[in-house]
Amino acid sequence: MSPTHDSPERLPVRGEARGSHFDRSFGRGGERVVLTDYDPKWPYLFQREAERVRDALGPAALEVEHIGSTAVPGLAARPCVDLLLLVGDAADESAYRPALEKAGYVLHYAEPDFHDHHVFKGPDVSTSLHVFADGPEPRRILALRDRLRADAGDRDRYERAKRDLAGRHGDSVQDYAEAKTGVIEEILSRAPGAGR
C-alpha cells in the first residue's frame, strides 16, 4: 500500500542515523557547495519563514530559531536559510507534519535514531527546517550560532575553514559537511551552553 498524507506513520523514512550529516541515498551527495558573502536579506527571509511556521503550528511550535551560517551577520554561507523548530515530541510527526505540509513544507528526510531529527524543505525560498524536541543537539546548534555571532576570531576561523573545504569538497555537500566537523567541535569546545 502506498503512503498517503493522511497516514504519516506509513511514509518512508529516508536517511540514516549518521550524526547530523546527509545520506547520499536521498540525493544530497551530488549537490555542489556554493558559498556566497553574507546577505542582509537572510534575517528577513528567516522572519518570514518563522511566521509561516508559527502560523501553521500555533502553540505546538515551542521555539523557532534562525540557525546555520545565514544566522551569523558577516559570515559567508551557502544561500539556504536554516530554521530550528522545537516541538514537544519530534517522533510524533502527526503533531506537526500535516500542518507544515499544508503550509507548503515538504519532508526531505528523517533520522529517527539521531534525536528524531526531521528536515523539511520550504515552499518558496531555499529553506531547511530542522525539527527536534528540546535536548542536547539543538542546544549545541544554538551554542555554535551564538559563539560565531559573539566571537570574531571564531567567526573568521570558521569562514576560512568553510572556504578551504568548499574548494576541496565543492562537488559534495555531504563531504563538505563531514569535513567541517573538526572546526565545529573546536569552536564548540569554547562555547558556553554547548552541553559538553
- Report the side by side order of strands in the sheet with 81-87: 63-67, 81-87, 127-133, 117-121, 106-111
Q: Parallel, antiparallel, or unpaired: how do β-strands 127-133 and 81-87 relate?
A: parallel
Domain ranges for the chain, please list them: 29-188
Contact 152, 141 (CB under 8 A): no
Tell which residue, 84, 85, 86, 81, has the closest CA to residue 44.
Answer: 81
Distances from the Cα of 138 to the Cα of 24, 68, 132, 195, angstroms: 23, 12, 7, 10
Q: Parallel, antiparallel, or unpaired: how do β-strands 117-121 and 106-111 relate?
A: antiparallel
CATH of span 29-188: 3.30.460.10
Q: Which amino acid is at 97?
A: R
Q: What is the pLDDT at residue 21?
A: 36
Give me the tens of pLDDT residue by residue for the chain, a chain 196 residues long.
333 333 333 333 333 333 333 333 333 445 788 999 999 999 999 999 999 999 999 999 999 999 999 999 999 999 999 999 999 999 999 999 999 999 999 999 888 888 999 999 999 889 999 999 999 999 999 999 999 999 999 999 999 999 999 999 888 888 888 899 999 999 999 988 676 5
Measured between alpha carbons, how far is 10 from 166 in angstroms, rounded to an integer? 37
The pTM is what? 0.82
